[in-house]
Structure 1
């Protein structure tokens, strides 16, 4: 079987679009369409349904995805073994990560990779932990970054590369030298949507106090939360890196206590897929990025 047919099918299945798949693979749209149609003839059934809202995978197509990925992973391993000595990595690496990492950590990673290996491209997309891990599992992403108080429970391969400290912030009005969860529970809190581990932990701390009557609002964006906190609509918990500029300018201030444990940063990859040279380049740069961000050890 021509593995180009499998690559075209997987690209369409991931993107839900023949046009996007053609752009990803560097083919014309008609070529991708032809590949999928030929594969459907060879397998004797429809793999994709073309709907007005986009392309969706059929039951047969869904069963094919895992097997196609295994075949292509084996092909990638063979290519890596037989690659000429001194050849440069190339390809696209698809990464899903929390919004704060996409905004404040990954641009430096992309810049470093581009400078060292210009033929390696990185596509980043913000996403919650559930969507990110599921995308790696389904093959629609090569790598997920998680930022949680605890390591996620998953069948994917995990590697811890660092931590990100968390802080509590408000809009600038002082509320005392030391603040307790009970005191915070009496004020309006603006938290990331449910499913974010550290925000859920904060919500649990507030609920455990039995105090009130502060309101709890959930948002899908850290940037939206910061804007609301800045105009006095409440306080929040967020990664320190995402509020550095606002704290320096005085727009936001750190609430003194209670302390929050740092979030662990994990890289999640598929255990059955061979990490090709392009992905290895990105993984190595991510390790270096968080190694540089660690505070120096005290003697």
Structure 2
């Protein structure tokens, strides 16, 4: 199974739509359909069925999805390891960030990074924290710069992601004059 086919398969699995998957992988709809048909022919089984709500994974597609994700992760690691051993760094880095972080923190840093690593293509996606975490989970971005959320429903940090605090900034509540009734706990 070629990594290109697996990337296309995962794009269709995530979007449940050929048109949206084609946009995500920067291909024509017909190319996405052809790649899915090629993968299904190679595996000898259907990976998707059509429903009113879009494309649904078949049991075979559900079985392939986590394996495809792992194969693509290993493919990326293998390429990076070989390039590092050869003393080369190249590839693509997709950074997701909140708009304020992208403009205030990353914009001054990016030119220096690009000058130091000219063979790495950097892409920036700006979105809200929830969207960034979803894109990170789906592999659409490689790293997310967003605000720390310690109030998640499980009572702590999201264990799916490695995380590091890179800056802390004070948060102040500003109220109109005469509004002295500020709650003690602003969490």
Report the TM-score when normalising by structure 1: 0.47
Which stretches in structure 1 are left out of the alignment for 5+ residues?
186-200, 205-299
Give the CA RMSD over aligned residues.
3.4
CA distance in 1 between partners of 2:14 and 2:67 (Å):
15
- 1:168 is matched with which residue? 173
Contact kept? 1:91, 1:121, Cα under 8 Å: yes
- 2:126 is matched with which residue? 125
Change (3 A) 1:114 1:47: farther
- 1:3 is matched with which residue? 3
- 2:24 is matched with which residue? 21
Q: Does 1:46 align with 2:44?
A: no
Change (3 A) 1:48 1:76: farther
- 1:153 is matched with which residue? 157
Q: Which has the higher contact order (CA 8 A, sep 6+)?
A: 1
Which stretches in structure 2 are left out of the alignment for 5+ residues?
none
Deviation at 1:48, TM superposition (A): 7.0
- 2:89 is matched with which residue? 88
CA distance in 2 between partners of 1:112 and 1:62 (Å):
43
Change (3 A) 1:113 1:8: farther
Change (3 A) 1:33 1:113: farther
Contact kept? 1:48, 1:57, Cα under 8 Å: yes
How many correspondences in the alignment? 173
Change (3 A) 1:66 1:139: farther
Higher gyration radius (CA): 1
In terms of fraction of residues, the more strand-rich structure is 1
Deviation at 1:89, TM superposition (A): 1.8
